[in-house]
Copies of this chain bind each other. A is one copy, B any other.
Amino acid sequence: MSFTFERKINYYETDRMGIVHHSNYIRFLEEARCDMLDFSDMPYSAYEAQGIMIPVLGVNLDFKRHVTFNDVIIIKPFVKEFNGVRLTMGYSVTDKKTGDIVLTGETRHCFTDSNLKPLNLKKACLDFYEKFDNLKNCRRVSSGTEHFDNCRWGRGILTIFYCRWGRGILTIFY
């Protein structure tokens, strides 16, 4: 299974080098991450409603190519590691027009209460824990195409194309 998030570059996201300022990519990854949570039926606002936060502990980004105003990027977020206490998300970002890799990266997270004290998601909210754990099983294959073992939505479905409001596009193939 592959989760895909499309995003057009805004003018205010460029700098005077003529390209997207590198700080903005962290924001694009957050958009993709939140959209993946929305899609997975555990929107970040539902976490907050339960007093759970998912702060960022670390970021690694490798920029490969630059994009600029009006370019469209495709972000593929995926769960690299998850155990209820720590979470590592991976991302690949490509230029929609050329297919070139724009950046690869990862963000590292923990789960906390509203006072930013760490907690174990398995104890704090088993439902969300299981949904996240399920996402972990959507493995990423090195070829750049995605493959799934045991996804809730995907089992036995040949091809589904799902388009939501202006943002994420989910393609399930088997």
Which residues in A have some Cβ–Cβ distance to B below 8 Å? 6, 8, 10-12, 14-19, 21-24, 26-27, 30-31, 34, 38, 43-45, 53, 55-63, 66, 68-70, 72, 116, 165-167
Copies in the complex: 4
Sampled A-B contacts (10; CB under 8 Å)? A10-B34, A11-B30, A12-B15, A12-B30, A16-B17, A17-B55, A34-B70, A55-B66, A57-B63, A166-B167
Chain B's closest residue to A64 (CB) is B57
CA distance A53 to B6 in the complex (A): 27
Check A62 against B66 for contact (C-beta < 8 Å): no
Check A58 against B55 for contact (C-beta < 8 Å): no
Known: A56-B63, A61-B59, A70-B43. A27 touches B15 (CB 8 A): no
